[in-house]
Chains A and B, each alone.
Chain A
Amino acid sequence: MRTRPALLNVAHRLAILAYIAFALFPLFWLLKVAVTPNDLLYTEGVRLWPSRASLEHFDFVLRHSAFPVFFRNSLIVSGSTAVVVTILSSLSGYALSRFRFRGKYWLVTLMLLTQMFPLVMLVAPIFKILSPLGLTNSLTGLVIVYTAFNVPFATFLMQSFFDGIPKDLEEAAMIDGATQFVAFRQIILPLTLPGIAATLGFVFTAAWSELLFSLMLISGNEQATFPVGLLSFVSKFSVDFGQMMAAGVLALIPACLFFLLIQRYLVQGLTAGAVKG
């Protein structure tokens, strides 16, 4: 390690601190408004922390609003989407990484193409398709739509992780007596855990915060996901910021938990020592 002048070190840390403060400020504001009692919301001017904090908004959101339902719906939709997309994209990513097959080039091009359209264009046709199938106003419908939109990108993501794993490993396994699928499951997949964690995390958060399709395909509170639910705090004449922010804070919890759970895999370089190093 080379030593750096102390001043430079301090400046470096300060720069990082400034960036973190900048990036996290909206979250802080979310929390601040969530704990500000209604009577102080507009009367105290702009302050970093209210003179009196309370949890009344949280209490209201949890006990008197439909928020727990939204929360449950979101959890179901995001969780299922993340799992389904990750399974599909591991298989397709592996195929793209390892196999040569007819039409591979066109398949990849087609998948890239799907990523180019603004989603708004697709709302109407998708509604038209799902409606006769009885998949509007249903969580299953949402999972299908989200899965369809996330699989191409997740496939490319997984493919890059598979590309990073030496081919020698599965060849060694195949000579040791495994079929290609067993080699994939027992040797390659465990080494791709960081990639799987990243894909799970990416898809989960994407589905968790998706608003457009949820808004268009779901009507009524019963099947609404949490981003749609947040809108219910906006009425014709006022916006209940306190409750809305409290709901927002609560909605952050699963995403945070999820990343805490997978961060171990995100930072781990599991392939170290496999081949010459």
Chain B
Amino acid sequence: MASIDIANIQKSYGIHPVLHDVDLKIRDGEFVVLVGPSGCGKSTLLRMIAGLESVTAGEIRIAGKRVNELAPKDRDIAMVFQSYALYPHMSVARNMSYSLRLRKTAKDRITTIVAGAAAKLGLEPLMERRPRALSGGQRQRVAMGRAIVRQPKAFLFDEPLSNLDARLREQMRAEIKKLHRDLRATSIYVTHDQIEAMTLADRIVAMNGGVVQQVGSPLDLYDRPANLFVAGFIGSPGMNFFEGTCRAGERPMFHIAGDIAIPLDASPPLANDAKATLGIRPEHIVLAGHGPETLLATVDLVEPTGFGIILHLSLGRSGFKAFTNDRSFLTASGTIPVHFPAHSLHFFDSEGSRV
């Protein structure tokens, strides 16, 4: 196992930059998830660590050793691909032992290691099958087995669950987490699914447009998103945003479109009348109350999910969503009282940064 240091990494294709100055220190045994929308550069970064893409500028160190110029085979890392990339002409056993055979490991040692990995992943009955005779979940397991027999310095996962159906994805997610708990291997995991990121990561690296937006623990990103992008990306249903201006006074207010004022406890550190964005998560909105802090919202749509209810509401011209577990809202219509608790509010300046 090893730490991975990424220092001021840049990547351009011709004149098109895709990664800008990425700086990241991954500790030994840590599970780091790179998350972001398609095309944000997360896969490119992973492939650069693997050695499948060249580094335009900056430095990558694995276990303290510079690897920029090393071929993938000399970096001692294992990778699980989104497409699984199993060798179709080899049995499961031979797929898993390929890396060991390339390293001329003794036969009996190969047998022991492969059997151990197979037992861990429940692959024993499938060892003589070809990949084409396996289901998606089984192929995914073989791909992971192929990675763990190596006992590499680090595991790289490139959207490994994207090709599975929802149920299987949930199951494999838990298995990956268990595997990491057992092996304590340094892992870098790329996904566009924020749920995978939240559930698996020790630390999340949120990326957008080739720039790292925020690095932190899952709850850090959930509770204190650094900017509008992270706030909107993490959480489902996503955070509600209201554009408007803050006005100090005896009672500070946040004015949004339609001449609606949301009362605040204290003035946020924003200039008076400066354009800003207020954010609140749907699950933090309180659907009750009376008095000056309560607003009346119009119910536009009710979406039951079984687990809870998503209410589509509007305040003036601004639509937003609220999440509740109270089934009495299934029949909500007309207007209902809503309250935005002060401690659940997030403020972002006109640049989109958290204040």
Contact = CB atoms under 8 A, between A and B. Distances in A.
Contacts of B150: 176
Given A171-B72, A274-B84, A276-B163, 14 more contacts: A169-B85, A171-B81, A171-B85, A172-B86, A174-B52, A174-B73, A175-B77, A176-B78, A176-B102, A179-B71, A191-B88, A273-B130, A274-B131, A275-B86
A26 interface: no
Q: Which of A173, A179, A271, A276 is packed against the most chain B CB atoms within 10 Å?
A: A276
A187 B101 CA distance: 14
Interface of A: 166, 168-169, 171-179, 182, 187, 190-191, 270-277
Contacts of B82: 276
A275 B132 CA distance: 9
A172 B131 CA distance: 15
Contacts of A178: 73, 102
Interface string B123-144: 0000000111110100100000
Contacts of B255: none
Residue among A166, A176, A178, A271 having the largest count of chain B Cβ atoms under 10 Å: A176
6 shortest interchain CB distances as A-B pairs = A273-B132, A275-B83, A168-B85, A176-B99, A273-B131, A172-B85
Contacts of A175: 50-52, 72-73, 77-79
B51 to A, nearest CB: 8
B88 A270 contact: yes
A52 B323 CA distance: 94
B222 interface: no
A168 B134 contact: no
Contacts of A172: 79, 81, 85-87, 146
Nearest to B150: A176
Contacts of B103: 177
Interface of B: 50-52, 71-73, 77-79, 81-89, 98-99, 102-103, 130-134, 136, 139, 146, 150, 163
Contact of B88 (A173, A182, A274): A274
A190 B72 CA distance: 22
Contacts of B86: 172, 273-275
B102 A182 contact: yes
Contacts of A171: 50, 52, 72, 79, 81, 85
Q: Which of B50, B51, B73 has the most CB of A within 10 A?
A: B73
Contacts of B51: 174-175
B146 A176 contact: yes
15 contacts: A171-B50, A171-B52, A171-B79, A173-B98, A174-B51, A174-B72, A175-B50, A175-B73, A175-B78, A177-B103, A182-B102, A191-B88, A275-B85, A276-B83, A277-B132
Nearest to A193: B89
B80 to A, nearest CB: 9
A187 B50 contact: no
A182 B136 CA distance: 28
